[in-house]
Amino acid sequence: MIEITLKEHLSQIGKIKTQKKAASSKSNGRKGGRPLSCYMHVETGSIDNKDGWILSYAGEELEERNVTAETAFAADLKAKKFIPCSSRRVKKQQKG
């Protein structure tokens, strides 16, 4: 019988890919880690979460681009119009 410590066992369990982890990684364009909680607009410096940015797209802009808000956000993220940021960074900026 092979004996392993609890720490080794837990580290092995953490390496197992789950559907939830895979979806989170895919939505963030990363291989792992915590989901990013906010994005900063490069031109304006405004910070909001993904849902906030998706809701901010105007209907006329979406019709002009012929895409959904989610697709527009993904395209703008890929074009580096938004950069991911952590919630800790946002809290530091708000404190001044």
Give the residue extent of every domain in the chain.
6-95
Residue of higher predicted confidence among 66 and 91: 66
pLDDT digits (tens, 9 = 90+) for 24-68: 666 665 555 555 578 888 998 888 888 888 889 998 989 998 999
Residue of higher predicted confidence among 6 and 40: 40
Express as a percent the part of the chain with pLDDT over 90: 21
**pLDDT at res. 72:** 92
User: What six digits make up the tokens of 52?
Assistant: 């906030």
3-class secondary-structure state, position 92: helix
Half-sphere exposure of 76 (CA within 13 A, CB side): 24
**pLDDT at res. 26:** 64
Q: How confident is the model at residue 76 (pLDDT cuts 50, 70, 90)?
A: very high
Helices (H), 29-68: 50-56, 59-65
Q: How many CB atoms lie within 10 A of CB 39?
A: 21
Q: What is the mean pLDDT of the chain?
A: 76
Q: What angle do CA 35, 57, 26 make, to 5 degrees?
A: 25
Bridging pattern class, strands 47-48 and 82-85: unpaired
Q: How far apart are CA 14 and CA 18, in angstroms?
A: 10
